[in-house]
A and B are shown apart, each in its own frame.
Chain A
């Protein structure tokens, strides 16, 4: 079974530029997550999709970050304009469904995109 795919693996941009990351989840997985992992910290959830609808985007800086999952499969995360503090690894994960009591769906992570903002 193919895992979660992400591209690019690395990206270097200057502040105030824009950047986009792409994620293709495991086939059949309805739920998709984007995490931000700053160096020296654990991942922090930015946004969660169930099919093409947003379940949770409470920690997404909406003034500069946006994400979409138009057909309920792959997803794009965009930053515009980028700031120095956006330098991080951006991880995508997917699961069969949204966590429910008694349904502890495991999340499967992709290899991430390392973003450096100079």
Chain B
């Protein structure tokens, strides 16, 4: 079974600075997707960024970018120019892209709570 590990339960960053959240995963598959979701206190999960495993280029979305290291099974999220509104719980998630059934389920890590200090 696939597992997703987020080793940082909490992180903090000063407003306008950069922070990196870590994620590692375990899978025997070669085709899959990785995601970062943001969950603010309102509890609504919001997709931040997505990476297809077959793409070598790291995904970027405005101030959010990832460092995808397939061989190391590492998928970190970098938030640049941090804003107060970035404060939230961040979840790393994995989803297979082959085989169907349970392989298509989203598997989440335990999350990292990000605090942004003014």
Binding site for B on A (CB under 8 A): 3, 40-45, 56, 58, 89, 91, 93, 98-99, 101, 104, 106-107, 109-112, 114
B79 within 8 Å of A by Cβ?
no
Q: CB-CB < 8 A to B47: which residues of A? A: 106-107
Q: CB-CB < 8 A to B98: which residues of A? A: 101
Binary CB contact string for chain B from 22 to 33 against chain A (1 if under 8 A, 0 otherwise): 000000000101
| Among candidates A40, A58, A93, A99, residue contacting B45 with C-beta atoms closer than 8 Å | A93
Complex contact A109–B45 (CB within 8 A):
yes
- Tally of A-B residue pairs with Cβ under 8 A? 54
Chain B proximity of A57: nearest CB distance (Å): 11
Complex contact B44–A110 (CB within 8 A):
yes
Complex contact A42–B102 (CB within 8 A):
no
The residue on B at minimum CB distance from A109 is B45
Binding site for A on B (CB under 8 A): 4, 31, 33, 42-47, 50, 52, 91, 93, 95, 97-98, 101-102, 104-111
What is the CA–CA distance of A114 and B39 in the complex, to the nearest angstrom?
14
4 residue pairs, one from A and one from B, having the closest CB atoms: A42-B108, A109-B45, A112-B43, A99-B104
What is the CA–CA distance of A98 and B104 in the complex, to the nearest angstrom?
9
Q: CB-CB < 8 A to A107: which residues of B? A: 47, 106
Q: CB-CB < 8 A to B46: which residues of A? A: 109
Complex contact B106–A104 (CB within 8 A):
no
| Among candidates B31, B33, B102, B108, residue contacting A56 with C-beta atoms closer than 8 Å | B102
Complex contact A111–B44 (CB within 8 A):
yes
